[in-house]
Homo-oligomer: A and B are copies of this chain.
Amino acid sequence: MAIRDSKSPNTYWYQSGVTREDRENMNRHRGIIVWFTGLSASGKSTIAHAVEKELHDKGVRTIVLDGDNVRYGLCGDLGFTDCDRSENLRRIGHVAKLFLEAGVVVLTAFISPFEEDRSRARRMLDRPEDWLEVYCSCPIEVCVSRDQKGLYRRALNGEIPYFTGVNSPYEPPQNPDVTVDTSKLSVSESVKRIIEAFEKRAFFF
């Protein structure tokens, strides 16, 4: 995988007069990246949107960057080879960081199967507390039985190359901040655990 994460030649950094701290003070809460990882149909998008709704109702500025949604636009040129997945997550990491700088709570819901890609996104951040990793742990049999989009069926029929868990690997996170086993917890129980993890970080001013 030859993912270039450098800067273009002949470019210079322009420091904004409005800082992240200024924006967070206006919002009265911190920005943070909540990075969901897990198999397809493990509940990432559903839980991310449910967390967003609860945070929004508390007056928090939020955005969900969703695997499917982003692939309609920013990453619509990419497929699902290992290299394209890495480039997809490289771009997502940078976009998430821009939202973080804007003082927003960014919820990213991507399979993000490779530790290397997740840790690269994490390493870009200035502060460890800017990153909350949520592992949607769910046995693949349960994911296959859900299969809302019929993707597992097609992957198992050999119709989709590079489908995580079928013909492309998934590397579980080693030290996630929160693990939710979505075969056992309800959506609202999962949301509760994630919100508790937020609040431990003195999230609101």
Choose one: B3, B52, B67, B102; the contact of A16 (CB below 8 Å): B52
- Do the beta carbons of B69 and A17 come within 8 Å of each other? no
- Do the beta carbons of A62 and B7 come within 8 Å of each other? no
A interface: dominant SS:
loop
Across the interface, which residues of B come within 8 angstroms of A50, CB to CB? 17
The count of identical subunits is 2
Across the interface, which residues of B come within 8 angstroms of A78, CB to CB? 8
Q: Mark A93-113, 1 if CB is under 8 A from B, else 0.
A: 011011101111000000000
Chain B nearest CB, measured from A52 CB (Å): 6
Q: Closest chain B residue to A12 by CB distance?
A: B68
CB within 8 Å for A61 and B61 given contacts A7-B76, A74-B91, A97-B73: yes
A contact residues, total (Cβ < 8 Å):
60
- Do the beta carbons of B14 and A66 come within 8 Å of each other? yes
Across the interface, which residues of B come within 8 angstroms of A22, CB to CB? 56
- Do the beta carbons of A77 and B6 come within 8 Å of each other? yes
Chain A, range 1-45, C-beta contacts under 8 Å to B: 3-14, 16-18, 22-23, 26-27, 45
- Do the beta carbons of A53 and B102 come within 8 Å of each other? no
The answer, yes or no, to whether A193 is at the interface (CB within 8 Å) is: no
Choose one: B10, B14, B45; the contact of A151 (CB below 8 Å): B10
Q: Mark A63-98, 1 if CB is under 8 A from B, else 0.
A: 111111101111111111000000000010011011
Q: List 16 A-B contacts (CB under 8 A).
A: A3-B77, A7-B71, A7-B76, A8-B75, A8-B80, A9-B80, A10-B151, A13-B68, A13-B69, A17-B52, A27-B61, A63-B102, A74-B91, A74-B94, A95-B95, A99-B102
**Residues in A lying within 8 Å of B, measured CB to CB:** 3-14, 16-18, 22-23, 26-27, 45, 49-50, 52-53, 56, 59, 61-69, 71-80, 91, 94-95, 97-99, 101-104, 124, 149, 151, 154, 160
